[in-house]
Structure 1
Amino acid sequence: MKLCRYGMREWLGSGLAALAMGGVWLLVLLKLNVAAGTVLLILTALAWLAIAAFFRVPVRAIPSDDLVLVSPADGLVRDIEVVKDHGIEAFEGLELLRIGIFLSVLDVHVNRAPCAFKVEHRKYKEGRFLDARSPRCAKENESLVIAGTGRAGGKDFPMAVRQVSGAIARRIVCEAAPGDALEKGAIYGMIKFGSRTELYLPNEPWMTARVAIGDKICSGSTVIASIQLAGDFA
């Protein structure tokens, strides 16, 4: 377990503030009131631990099977549907399978590449900050999409991941840019605090979702979809 560098400003800054406050509470403990000083020290430490927990990056075992794609985010699967009005300019007119994932403030917040991914397009959109559980948030909230070519099972296919801000999340971080080649499971960004992540895949018979609505999934380790080879069809 380590802390994400994308949140260094938050966890390091709050840590320094906690140390300064801890010094004051230590003086209170030693000079004025032992009970009050002890309680304040504990509360300050717990507050920093809560902030740091938002930026944790647990070690994940990335499945080596080339036929499977992994989840791009931790959270709860909120919807799985075929969409044509997805708003991804690079894939305009294409019918895509969308898997929407809701991230609560208790989830890990880094985003990972679902498979080998050549990033070819990137689009940021300003927007509102509706609750990430709202069906309107995908179209109205601030978001950032990376789109390009995924590769799994020997196939190249269109793929995109959209990061969507929520009511609490107010900052999207994405290092991936056109021309980047991401490995499966590679961390490329995060959405700070509660949010939504959407994975867009081809709506084809050989691409199968491996999760269901209501499933709790983990980025990098949960198999979210799989490729069927031509010989696997009955």
Structure 2
Amino acid sequence: MKIDPAARPFTAAVAAPALVAALARRPRAAAGLGLLTAAVTLFFRDPDRAPDRAPVDDPDVVLAPADGVVVHAGPAEPGLGPAGEWQQVSIFLSLLDVHVNRMPYGGRVVSVSHRPGHFLAAYRAASGMRNERTEIVVERPTPDGPRRVVVRQIVGQLARRIVTRTAPGDEVATGARIGLMKFGSRMDVFLPAEVVLAVVPRTRAVGGETVLGRFGPPAGARR
């Protein structure tokens, strides 16, 4: 299984004591530390998903940006969304979930901004406004005008670092890897009103595969 390169310092930090315990002939300690090394390494697993095997060619589909449980799907929660009318889908990632993040909707990255903040439990609504986070804005031109989607990587109580591997000006495909968050977190996706949501709270999402929704005709357009 593919492991994200961000695992290296963490794996080394727990593998070294395991090696010392083995050399000191302390099998129980070595075994326990060995299991911990495996668990930490697996946290950074990076499995291939549908977009890796075949590019997503549907310009209307929005995919889940991460594995986890949908904790909100509907109008943007007060104070959380960008200015204007938006829908919001929030996904909570537990320690057991894959933490590699993916772009829910392909296009050109307009901006990437990081804001310091608190480390509230990521399943709480307030975490979307108060916690440390990185916001990515992506835009795609269409005959009906540009479509814009906002993606936020939000840390939790244990996740204290966000890795974002995209920058303004990048062209990113739907479902492409864009970074990861370390040890428990949340992702918020803000979508225009014309997106028809396909998930509800408690839906189990798979990053790069679960359809969050689809763009429909913009308001006032002919159907």
Normalising by the residue count of structure 1, what TM-score does the alignment of the two structures yield? 0.83
2 CA distance for matches of 1:112 and 1:209? 18
Deviations 1:40-78 (A, max 9, x none): 232121010110111001121127350322110110000
The residue type equivalent to 1:193 in the other structure is F
Q: Deviations over 1:211-230 (max 9, x none)?
A: 11001111111111113369
CA distance, structure 2, for counterparts of residue 124 and residue 78 of structure 1? 23
Structure with greater helix share of residues = 1
Tell me which residue corresponds to 1:33.
Answer: none
Q: Which sections of structure 2, spanning at least 5 residues, go unmatched?
A: none
Check if 1:227 corresponds to 2:211: no
Q: Which residue of 1 aligns with 2:69?
A: 76
Name the structure 2 match of 1:86: 80
SS at match of 1:51: helix
CA separation of 1:11 and 1:156: change in aligned 2, threshold 3 A:
farther
CA contact (8 A) 1:152 1:227 kept: no
Are 1:57 and 2:46 an aligned pair?
yes
Question: When the two structures are superposed, what TM-score results if normalisation uses the length of structure 2?
Answer: 0.87
* Matches of 1:153 and 1:97, distance apart in 2: 22
Q: Distance in 2 between matches of 1:12 and 1:150?
A: 41
Q: Secondary structure in 1 aligned to 2:8?
A: helix
Offset of residue 117 of structure 1: 2.3
Residues 23 and 124 from structure 1, CA distance in 2 versus in 1: closer, same or farther, beyond 3 angstroms?
closer
CA distance, structure 1, for counterparts of residue 109 and residue 140 of structure 2:
9
Larger Rg: 1
Deviation at 1:14, TM superposition (A): 3.3
Question: Which residue identity is paired with 2:204?
Answer: K
Please, what is the CA RMSD of the aligned residues?
2.3
1:152 & 1:114 partners in 2: Cα distance? 17
Q: Residue 130 in 1 paired to residue 120 in 2?
A: yes
2:187 equivalent to 1:187: no
Specify the alignment match of 1:42 in structure 2: 31
Name the stretch that deviates more: 190-199 or 143-152. Answer: 143-152
Aligned residue number for residue 3 of structure 1: 3
SS in 1 for 2:50: coil
Does the aligned pair in 1 maintain the 2:108–2:172 contact within 8 Å? yes
Aligned to 2:22: 25
Aligned residues: 215
Larger CA deviation: 39-48 vs 191-200: 39-48
Distance 2:38 2:50 in 1: 25
Structure 1 Cα separation of the partners of residues 145 and 41 of structure 2: 39
Q: What residue identity is the alignment partner of 2:196?
A: T
For residue 217 of structure 1, what is the aligned residue in structure 2?
Answer: 205
Report the alpha carbon displacement of residue 163 of structure 1 after superposing the two structures with TM: 0.7
Contact 2:66/2:207 (8 A) holds in 1: yes
| Contact 2:134 2:152 (8 Å CA) reproduced | yes
In structure 2, C-alpha distance between the alignment counterparts of 1:64 and 1:109, rounded to whole Å: 21
| Structure 1 portions without partners, runs of 5+ | 29-36
- Letter in structure 1 aligned against 2:28: V
SS at match of 1:168: coil
